[in-house]
């Protein structure tokens, strides 16, 4: 007998678990500040799913794990992404989750860092759900993106 499971509710619940922790950015009006690396906490825990999500979003994940910063400053990370301006960003494992490490003064992506993380979290959640369904013996029958951006997955398996 064929058992069908709709993972829409699971997808919505999983996506909310991957929302980046809110972080206030200090304002230094009138003060000249030197560029430095910032760490932004996330709930991303699996390096393979992180790499896959970054690739799915069109980023080339570097083989090297050195994140190049402004003025020759470098930082070791677990995952590195090169930007066109020569200043990279990456993700470093803190023992529990991967933190985004970047020199935010030189963020050179098509969207602000908050929107980038939202897109990354959504793709990471989708990849995590797809991996879990496959591991549990399900096959994805359909995968649709609805008008509101919600992803609907229908998976089945033989009982």
Nearest to 125 by CA among 16, 20, 22: 16
pLDDT for position 35: 55
pLDDT for position 6: 39
pLDDT by residue, tens only, the chain of 159 residues: 344 343 333 444 444 444 454 444 444 343 344 458 899 999 999 999 999 999 999 999 998 788 988 888 899 999 999 999 989 999 999 999 999 999 999 999 999 999 999 999 999 999 999 999 999 999 999 999 999 989 999 999 987
Whether 130 and 122 have beta carbons less than 8 Å apart is answered as: no
Backbone angles phi, psi at 61, to 5 degrees: -80, 125
Nearest to 124 by CA among 30, 11, 21: 11
Whether 121 and 19 have beta carbons less than 8 Å apart is answered as: yes
Q: Is 46 helix (H, G, I), strand (E, B) or coil?
A: coil
Whether 119 and 111 have beta carbons less than 8 Å apart is answered as: yes
């Amino acid at each position: 007998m064929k058992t069908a499971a709709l993972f829409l509710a699971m997808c919505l619940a999983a996506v909310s678990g991957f929302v980046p922790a809110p972080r206030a950015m200090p304002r230094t009006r009138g003060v000249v500040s030197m560029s430095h690396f910032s760490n932004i906490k996330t709930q991303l825990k699996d390096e393979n799913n992180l790499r896959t999500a970054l690739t799915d979003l069109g980023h080339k994940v570097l083989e090297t794990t050195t994140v190049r910063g402004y003025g020759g400053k470098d930082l070791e990370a677990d995952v590195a992404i090169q930007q066109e301006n020569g200043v990279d960003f990456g993700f470093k494992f803190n023992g529990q989750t991967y933190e985004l490490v970047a020199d935010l003064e030189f963020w050179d992506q098509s969207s602000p860092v908050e929107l980038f993380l939202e897109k990354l979290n959504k793709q990471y959640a989708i990849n995590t759900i797809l991996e879990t369904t496959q591991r549990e013996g399900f096959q994805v029958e359909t995968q649709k993106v609805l008008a509101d951006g919600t992803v609907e997955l229908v998976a089945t398996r033989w009982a």
